[in-house]
């Protein structure tokens, strides 16, 4: 072969490589391809053929070299020059305001700090080393200091450039340690699992596991078949001109051909970050890949440096996580709980697992039929779900990891607490303990009676109720109002002070709205909403007791089942006695009519800090009986924030939203006006 021809071939190979790198960049980074996939493939085939004919012209950065490395014995350890830290997690808005306040305090800044807000990719963190523009090494995060060398695997990822290029090839840093997250998209994950099932291989539990498993393959040819992708979000070291902000850094990475997430929000205030979080939560299931929250980073690099880091995580960034909905864990045992109506509910005792920042150790199995339908056994690995405030539940068993040693749980025929026979009524899914004196039922009824939306008795918790019932201090609702501080003070873990507090809270609760009173009675099928409907419809208890079933059923929002249950409840003498005893013990039903038209009607209050003039529950009750509402968190709909001493971050939020802030004196004045 003559010299000029050789040069031509070399030239053609170079041109093809450059062109392929360029089109890769257009496709993955800019998301704006200039040629079709078929055209791209033709160029790649031509390059492959030329390289095969002239093996000495193959270079490691050639687009043909993504696959081909031979399997490893084990991964090489690679040290990170700059440690790869993790992030502190936040789960509530309050935590984010606290973070912002801390940042401003440490920076001694009066002005609002600007942040970059980025989707928190749920994948595997990696560091890629580019020397003179060429990818020379890649490692997982490992323990943050030393990771596993996965270069050959990372090279198989099509959105990873083998050489830095992009729009600014003239300004290549001689060394760049680029950091990002490797992940698998949801659809590709589904397809991968279908394929695995077809081949009788265990499917991956979720896309993150699939990405981690694929990246940690000793044989890069296997990794090459997995649909891995990458988004970059940071750096270790970078030579050459430095940047002033996270925003500029991400722009620089992008101009070097590194793919960044298009949903990143630049230079935003903390309030805008929260809006962004809400937007992303709403669209997270439509993104095509999994994210588990938002990463919030102080934008200015000089500020980041001043803030520094702890050994674990930077002080200039935080991960604001979505409520994780599902996690897997193991069933250690099954317990049967007795509810206030005697219903027996099977509950799974779990190996504790954190779901959205809350440790879950128990999850309901609903009833015997559900437990059988899902075939949940002791020792099973299960998927557990928690959503907002509702009780965690077991969704299903991961049957692919059963060992055969799991034990079927025989559902008890008797009440596990009082031993009386459990009865299952035709057509109902639950078995019930029919003994109305069963201590388990009594405890649950008392708990419901004192709960937040019923009598709202501060301090009447589960452990205390157990003791009150077991020591026979409380056998009926009315007994609660006859308790004396001395007897309570003698109980375990109850000093004089807490006994007095409880008596105070009980005293405070005596004035109660008709709706709360009705709800507290625990009439079957009568929830908060129905209780409120009934209270608006009947002028008092006597009117409700005397009315016919038909008349109750005629109320809009109350069905025949509920009407029949209400009628039956009041037909029983013992229930009418319960009401009489309560009134006798000093409970006073405050009718909404008395407050109608009051000034606080429709006004929403939030309480923060410790109030001195009155207890929180007292303040709440007074506001409510004046027609107002008390909620737990500030929103744009809040009318007043009432501050006690040392108010928390709610105060910042109220100011940010322009909510009127008042002190206790002002609250008392408002309440007086309405009396």
Hey, which residues between 84 and 103 contact ligand IVH (CB under 6 A)?
A: 85-87
Shortest Cβ distance from residue 365 to ligand IVH (Å)? 33
Q: Is 252 in the site for ligand IVH (CB under 6 A)?
A: no
Residue of 10, 120, 374, 452 with catalytic role: 120
- Considering only residues 112, 314, 489, 522, which one is a binding residue for ligand IVH as defined by CB under 6 A? 314
Contact of 178 with 247, CB cutoff 8 Å: no
Q: Is 233 in the site for ligand IVH (CB under 6 A)?
A: yes
Give the C-alpha separation, 500 to 609, whole Å. Answer: 21
Q: Is 265 in the site for ligand IVH (CB under 6 A)?
A: no
Shortest Cβ distance from residue 250 to ligand IVH (Å)? 10
Contact of 31 with 262, CB cutoff 8 Å: yes
Give the C-alpha separation, 608 to 659, whole Å. Answer: 13
Q: Is 183 in the site for ligand IVH (CB under 6 A)?
A: no
- Considering only residues 192, 319, 505, 530, which one is a binding residue for ligand IVH as defined by CB under 6 A? 319
Residue 633 gets the label, from left (phi > 0), alpha (psi -120 to 50) or beta, of beta
**Pairing relation of β-strands 640-643 and 604-608?**
parallel
Applying CB under 6 A, the span of 79-87, 396-404, 465-473, 554-562 interacting with ligand IVH comes to 79-87
Q: Is 52 in the site for ligand IVH (CB under 6 A)?
A: no
The residue assigned the tokens 């160029």 is 43
Q: Is 154 in the site for ligand IVH (CB under 6 A)?
A: no
Residue 142 gets the label, from left (phi > 0), alpha (psi -120 to 50) or beta, of left
Residue 458 gets the label, from left (phi > 0), alpha (psi -120 to 50) or beta, of beta
- Considering only residues 43, 215, 295, 336, which one is a binding residue for ligand IVH as defined by CB under 6 A? 295
Shortest Cβ distance from residue 352 to ligand IVH (Å)? 21
Structural element, H or E, at residue 58: none
Give the C-alpha separation, 123 to 227, whole Å. Answer: 13
Shortest Cβ distance from residue 317 to ligand IVH (Å)? 5
Shortest Cβ distance from residue 305 to ligand IVH (Å)? 13
Q: How far is CA 123 from CA 210, 215, 434, 589, 674, in A?
A: 9, 10, 52, 56, 57
Q: Is 642 in the site for ligand IVH (CB under 6 A)?
A: no
Q: Which residues touch 555 (CB under 8 Å, ≥6 apart)?
A: 533, 534, 537
Shortest Cβ distance from residue 125 to ligand IVH (Å)? 3
Contact of 518 with 525, CB cutoff 8 Å: no
Q: Is 320 in the site for ligand IVH (CB under 6 A)?
A: no
Give the C-alpha separation, 613 to 619, whole Å. Answer: 9
Q: Is 142 in the site for ligand IVH (CB under 6 A)?
A: no
Q: Is 552 in the site for ligand IVH (CB under 6 A)?
A: no
Q: Is 522 in the site for ligand IVH (CB under 6 A)?
A: no
- Considering only residues 21, 66, 141, 386, which one is a binding residue for ligand IVH as defined by CB under 6 A? 141
Shortest Cβ distance from residue 85 to ligand IVH (Å)? 4
Give the C-alpha separation, 82 to 650, whole Å. Answer: 37
Applying CB under 6 A, the span of 22-30, 58-66, 312-320, 571-579 interacting with ligand IVH comes to 312-320
Q: Which residues touch 266 (CB under 8 Å, ≥6 apart)?
A: 116, 247, 299
Identity of the residue, 290 or 618, whose beta carbon is nearer to ligand IVH in the bound complex: 290
Q: Is 235 in the site for ligand IVH (CB under 6 A)?
A: no
Shortest Cβ distance from residue 280 to ligand IVH (Å)? 12
Structural element, H or E, at residue 292: strand 291-298
Q: How far is CA 606 from CA 169, 669, 671, 674, in A?
A: 56, 17, 15, 18
Identity of the residue, 63 or 234, whose beta carbon is nearer to ligand IVH in the bound complex: 234
Q: Is 181 in the site for ligand IVH (CB under 6 A)?
A: yes
Give the C-alpha separation, 459 to 465, whole Å. Answer: 10
Shortest Cβ distance from residue 43 to ligand IVH (Å)? 33
Identity of the residue, 107 or 614, whose beta carbon is nearer to ligand IVH in the bound complex: 107
Q: Is 280 in the site for ligand IVH (CB under 6 A)?
A: no
CA 202 to chain centre: 28
Token representation of residue 463: 């452990």
Q: At what angle do helices 37-53 and 3-28 cross, to 10 degrees?
A: 150
What is the secondary structure of 272-341 as a DSSP string? Answer: HHHHHHHHHHHHGGGSSS-EEEEEEEESBHHHHHHH-B-SSSBTTEEEEE----EEEEEEEEEEEEE-TT
Identity of the residue, 289 or 409, whose beta carbon is nearer to ligand IVH in the bound complex: 289
Shortest Cβ distance from residue 295 to ligand IVH (Å)? 4
C-beta neighbour count of 534 within 10 angstroms:
23
C-beta neighbour count of 629 within 10 angstroms:
17
Contact of 474 with 581, CB cutoff 8 Å: no
Contact of 386 with 362, CB cutoff 8 Å: no
**Pairing relation of β-strands 640-643 and 660-663?**
parallel
Q: Is 178 in the site for ligand IVH (CB under 6 A)?
A: no
Neighbour-count burial of 515, counting CB atoms closer than 10 A to its CB (0-12 exposed, 13-18 middle, 19+ buried):
buried
Structural element, H or E, at residue 125: strand 124-131
Applying CB under 6 A, the span of 93-101, 313-321, 329-337, 370-378 interacting with ligand IVH comes to 313-321
Applying CB under 6 A, the span of 120-128, 360-368, 490-498, 625-633 interacting with ligand IVH comes to 120-128
Identity of the residue, 200 or 310, whose beta carbon is nearer to ligand IVH in the bound complex: 310
Q: Is 182 in the site for ligand IVH (CB under 6 A)?
A: no
Structural element, H or E, at residue 422: strand 422-424
**Pairing relation of β-strands 89-90 and 317-321?**
parallel
Identity of the residue, 296 or 611, whose beta carbon is nearer to ligand IVH in the bound complex: 296
Shortest Cβ distance from residue 553 to ligand IVH (Å)? 55
Residue 8 gets the label, from left (phi > 0), alpha (psi -120 to 50) or beta, of alpha
Shortest Cβ distance from residue 233 to ligand IVH (Å)? 4
> How many residues contact ligand IVH, by CB under 6 A?
15
Identity of the residue, 186 or 639, whose beta carbon is nearer to ligand IVH in the bound complex: 186
Identity of the residue, 208 or 616, whose beta carbon is nearer to ligand IVH in the bound complex: 208
Contact of 483 with 506, CB cutoff 8 Å: yes
Q: Is 464 in the site for ligand IVH (CB under 6 A)?
A: no
Note if 120 is an active site residue.
yes
Identity of the residue, 295 or 547, whose beta carbon is nearer to ligand IVH in the bound complex: 295
Q: Is 120 in the site for ligand IVH (CB under 6 A)?
A: yes
CB closest to ligand IVH, residue no: 125
Identity of the residue, 253 or 474, whose beta carbon is nearer to ligand IVH in the bound complex: 253
Identity of the residue, 238 or 331, whose beta carbon is nearer to ligand IVH in the bound complex: 238
Q: Is 121 in the site for ligand IVH (CB under 6 A)?
A: yes
Identity of the residue, 181 or 618, whose beta carbon is nearer to ligand IVH in the bound complex: 181
Which residues are at the interface with ligand IVH (CB under 6 A)?
Answer: 85-87, 118, 120-121, 125, 141, 181, 233-234, 295, 314, 317, 319
Tell me which residues are annotated as active site: 120
């Amino acid at each position: 072969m003559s010299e000029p021809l050789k040069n031509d071939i070399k030239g053609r190979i170079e041109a093809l490589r450059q062109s392929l790198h360029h089109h890769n960049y257009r496709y993955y980074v800019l998301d704006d391809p200039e040629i079709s996939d078929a055209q791209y493939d033709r160029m790649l085939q031509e390059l492959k053929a030329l390289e095969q004919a002239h093996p000495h012209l193959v270079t490691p950065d050639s687009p043909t070299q993504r696959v081909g490395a031979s399997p490893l014995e084990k991964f090489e350890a690679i040290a990170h020059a700059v440690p790869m830290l993790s992030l502190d997690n936040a789960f509530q808005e309050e935590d984010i305001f606290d973070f912002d306040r801390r940042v401003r305090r440490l920076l001694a800044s009066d002005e609002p700090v600007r942040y970059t807000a980025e989707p928190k990719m749920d994948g595997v963190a990696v560091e890629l080393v580019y020397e003179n523009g060429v990818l020379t090494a890649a490692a997982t995060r490992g323990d943050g200091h030393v990771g596993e060398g996965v270069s050959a695997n990372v090279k198989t990822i099509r959105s990873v450039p083998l050489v830095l290029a992009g729009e600014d090839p003239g300004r290549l840093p001689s060394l760049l340690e680029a950091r990002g997250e490797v992940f698998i998209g949801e659809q590709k994950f589904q397809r991968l699992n279908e394929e695995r099932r077809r081949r009788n291989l265990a499917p991956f539990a979720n896309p993150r596991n699939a990405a981690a498993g694929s990246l940690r393959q000793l044989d890069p040819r296997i990794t090459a078949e997995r649909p891995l992708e990458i988004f970059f979000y940071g750096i270790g070291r970078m030579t050459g001109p430095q940047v002033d902000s996270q925003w500029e850094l991400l722009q620089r990475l992008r101009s070097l051909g590194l793919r960044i997430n298009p949903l990143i929000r630049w230079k935003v205030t903390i309030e805008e970050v929260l809006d962004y979080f809400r937007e992303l939560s709403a669209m997270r299931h439509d993104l095509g890949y999994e994210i588990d929250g938002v990463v919030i980073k102080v934008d200015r690099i000089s500020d980041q440096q001043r803030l520094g880091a702890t050994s674990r995580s930077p002080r200039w960034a935080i991960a604001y996580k979505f409520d994780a909905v599902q996690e897997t864990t193991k069933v250690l045992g099954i317990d049967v709980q007795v509810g206030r109506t005697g219903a027996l509910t099977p509950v799974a005792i779990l190996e504790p697992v954190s779901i959205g920042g809350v440790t879950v150790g128990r999850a309901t199995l609903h009833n015997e039929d559900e437990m059988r339908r899902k075939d949940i056994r002791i020792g099973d690995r299960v998927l557990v779900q928690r959503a907002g405030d509702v009780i965690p539940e077991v969704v299903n068993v991961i049957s692919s990891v059963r060992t055969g040693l799991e034990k079927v749980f025989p559902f008890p025929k008797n009440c596990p607490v009082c031993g009386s026979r459990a009865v299952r009524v035709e057509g109902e899914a639950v078995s019930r303990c029919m003994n109305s004196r069963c201590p388990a039922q009594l405890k649950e009824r008392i708990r419901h009676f004192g709960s937040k939306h019923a009598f709202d008795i501060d301090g009447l918790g589960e452990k205390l109720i157990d003791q009150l019932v077991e020591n026979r201090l409380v056998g009926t609702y009315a007994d609660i109002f006859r308790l004396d501080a001395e007897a309570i003070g003698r109980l375990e873990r109850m000093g004089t002070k807490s006994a007095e507090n409880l008596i105070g809270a009980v005293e405070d609760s005596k004035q109660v709205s008709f709706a709360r009173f009705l709800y507290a009675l625990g009439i079957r099928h009568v929830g908060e909403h129905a209780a409120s409907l009934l209270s608006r419809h009947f002028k008092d208890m006597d009117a409700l007791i005397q009315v016919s079933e038909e008349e109750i059923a005629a109320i809009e929002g109350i069905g025949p089942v509920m009407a029949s249950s209400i009628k039956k409840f009041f037909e029983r003498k013992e229930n009418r006695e319960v009401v009489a005893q309560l009134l006798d013990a000093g409970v006073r039903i405050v009718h909404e009519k008395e407050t109608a038209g009051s000034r606080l009607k429709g006004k929403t209050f939030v309480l923060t800090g410790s109030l001195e003039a009155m207890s929180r529950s007292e303040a709440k009750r007074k506001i409510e009986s004046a027609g107002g509402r008390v909620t737990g968190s500030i929103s744009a709909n809040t009318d007043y924030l009432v501050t006690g001493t040392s108010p928390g971050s709610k105060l910042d939020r109220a100011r940010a939203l322009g909510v009127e802030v008042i002190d206790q004196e002002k609250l008392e004045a408002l309440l007086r006006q309405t009396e």
